[in-house]
Chains A and B, each alone.
Chain A
């Protein structure tokens, strides 16, 4: 669904007006500038998916703030789950030294997870990268980055259930 010009303008105005306070709130919840920025942008992405709901609200500022709070909580929860998973398989990898993570061959070459996918998962789960930052670091789109992390998570989780 594409925004019409009126919706786009209204959301832009709201973005400029509320960005700093939303960012401030997210920063407090996520302890990271890049994650806070991603939370704000994600909240507005959600808003752009349902502009009529936002713009017809009696309290659009409240609407955006609630969306931001939910987004930040969701991010916190998701990253924590990824972190738990990565630490659980900790015996199979060594922390990154420079650019390289040492990934045990048992995971990599049993076809469980590729080194590239694990690297992305590591960046977000352990290093605290936002999805945008992780995507930009390896030259992927955000969607591709998310899919790879999703894939790595599933494969590691399946492996844990199976044989670890």
Chain B
């Protein structure tokens, strides 16, 4: 036997024991193996005997080890940095909160449920924040402070005032969206992409307003999923959206001096950016290349 600590124990009694009895003995030992080293040694011995018998008899229990190792490297090894078990389905109380280098204030949070059915993109959580001091000149505001936060599982920033014009030559699928944006006074540049990935139909637009904010949501149906474009402008108590995301940090993608945050959520790409007080988001895009093209197209690229 190969492990230390077993020199004094003689488990040879198990060598000739019937398989069913070995299994029964193993069931008895698995609970006590953590406390008693001798029981752990016995578990190791018995399982080695059983495994050897499986190999000799080529039973259905025998798995190809090389195939198993290949599968491990492909599916499980990339998750080696993840804390906890993949079977831990309870909520994670640990949040890894990071703040971008802009000034900060927090306000109240309220939950916002997506109203569109059958959409596969992330649930948007609306957070209300009040901004106070200035670093807003980059965004064209008077007195706004933008907070960009991300945790291990969410990303959010606040919304400010609206100025500007919006893009021309938008794809046909976005005509109704453009109309909704005009009618609701979301006058800002760089919010409508002129590029869309292939295979998406005409957008369905919904407008939701309350005393806090106005949201315009456009869903583009596709064969393998839907792309959503969402825009929000806050009223007197501006609100902002929080997006679910995977554990990796967002990428910051700059075009024309404007920062766009690209992240993944459940294998799909999302982007969020703030321009002249309009909080913009795209989600449900299949590849990073495509979402970058959409972002580039906001600036004529």
- For chain B residues 157-176, which have a beta carbon within 8 Å of chain A? none
Give the distance to chain A from B217, nearest Cβ to Cβ, in Å: 15
Residues of B within 8 A of A59 (CB): 3-5
Measured in the bound complex, the distance between the Cα atoms of B70 and A62 in whole Å is 24
- Interface residues of B, CB < 8 Å — how many? 53
- For chain A residues 106-136, which have a beta carbon within 8 Å of chain B? 109, 111, 116, 131-132
Say yes or no: A45 contacts B80, CB within 8 Å: yes
Residues of A within 8 A of B247 (CB): 143
**Of B43, B47, B83, B86, which one neighbours A146 at CB under 8 angstroms?**
B86
Is B54 positioned at the interface, with any CB of A under 8 Å from its CB?
yes
Measured in the bound complex, the distance between the Cα atoms of B44 and A60 in whole Å is 11
Give the distance to chain B from A61, nearest Cβ to Cβ, in Å: 4
Is A137 positioned at the interface, with any CB of B under 8 Å from its CB?
no
Is A49 positioned at the interface, with any CB of B under 8 Å from its CB?
yes
Give the distance to chain A from B187, nearest Cβ to Cβ, in Å: 32
Say yes or no: A142 contacts B86, CB within 8 Å: yes
Is B63 positioned at the interface, with any CB of A under 8 Å from its CB?
yes
How many A-B contacts if CB must be within 8 Å? Answer: 151
Measured in the bound complex, the distance between the Cα atoms of B81 and A143 in whole Å is 12
Residues of A within 8 A of B267 (CB): 140-141, 144
Give the distance to chain B from A6, nearest Cβ to Cβ, in Å: 16
Measured in the bound complex, the distance between the Cα atoms of B50 and A71 in whole Å is 20
Say yes or no: A45 contacts B117, CB within 8 Å: no
Measured in the bound complex, the distance between the Cα atoms of B33 and A66 in whole Å is 8
Measured in the bound complex, the distance between the Cα atoms of B54 and A69 in whole Å is 20
Chain A interface, DSSP helix/strand/loop, else mixed = helix
Is B48 positioned at the interface, with any CB of A under 8 Å from its CB?
yes
Give the distance to chain B from A110, nearest Cβ to Cβ, in Å: 10
Is A58 positioned at the interface, with any CB of B under 8 Å from its CB?
yes
- For chain B residues 17-70, which have a beta carbon within 8 Å of chain A? 23, 26-27, 30, 33-34, 37, 40-41, 43-44, 47-48, 50-51, 54-55, 60-63, 65-66, 68-69
Q: List 14 A-B contacts (CB under 8 A).
A: A21-B44, A28-B30, A60-B3, A61-B2, A62-B44, A69-B30, A69-B33, A74-B87, A74-B88, A82-B89, A140-B266, A143-B82, A144-B246, A144-B267
B→A interface (CB under 8 Å):
2-5, 23, 26-27, 30, 33-34, 37, 40-41, 43-44, 47-48, 50-51, 54-55, 60-63, 65-66, 68-69, 71-72, 75-77, 79-83, 85-91, 113, 117, 120, 246-247, 266-267
What are the 9 A-B residue pairs with the smallest beta carbon separation, nearest first?
A: A20-B51, A21-B47, A48-B80, A144-B266, A78-B87, A21-B51, A45-B76, A61-B3, A41-B76
